[in-house]
Structure 1
């Protein structure tokens, strides 16, 4: 079963975080030879991709990677002064081409941050 979470991306900023994939017993999943992708859509699992995160698997043996969502990628999404709720999923592709959604949830596009 996929984990669920919520991500907030400011329209004029970035969401940049380090994540790790862990097995059921809490040990890291070795991501050597694996790939990860994270896409955002208006409706979960359906429709065209609005934006994709940049993912860098920087510590494969320990399952660690960074995720970067760029708020500018959501410029075409209506509701500039509102919180807009979209859907995302993190797709994990194993070396043998098996695919599994590890994390899914809501991506909130936030109004611009005051500078």
Structure 2
């Protein structure tokens, strides 16, 4: 990993931990997570994902802007009950062994 990528990831992790302090509980853990929001028309939007490292993956979603979800997080920001009720919320659904990630992710999607 080059220096620029490491620095970007470090910044993303700092943002993720500030926005979601509970992520400290998931240091170097794999698992299944959920991003959710309600749009301005009341439509429920969600994304279930898997990660070998939950904190790193959360940081990537916040800073990358490569996927549809990443771009939506940039556009709608993170949920704030006082400032941004249409923003994205994040939660860890479960931790599990890396060998179970694919299976467990599919269980939540179905």
Superposed pair shares fold, TM > 0.5: no
Q: Which has the higher strand share?
A: 1
Between structure 1 and structure 2, the one with the greater Rg is: 1
TM-score with structure 2 setting the length = 0.32
TM-score with structure 1 setting the length = 0.31
Q: Which has the higher helix share?
A: 2
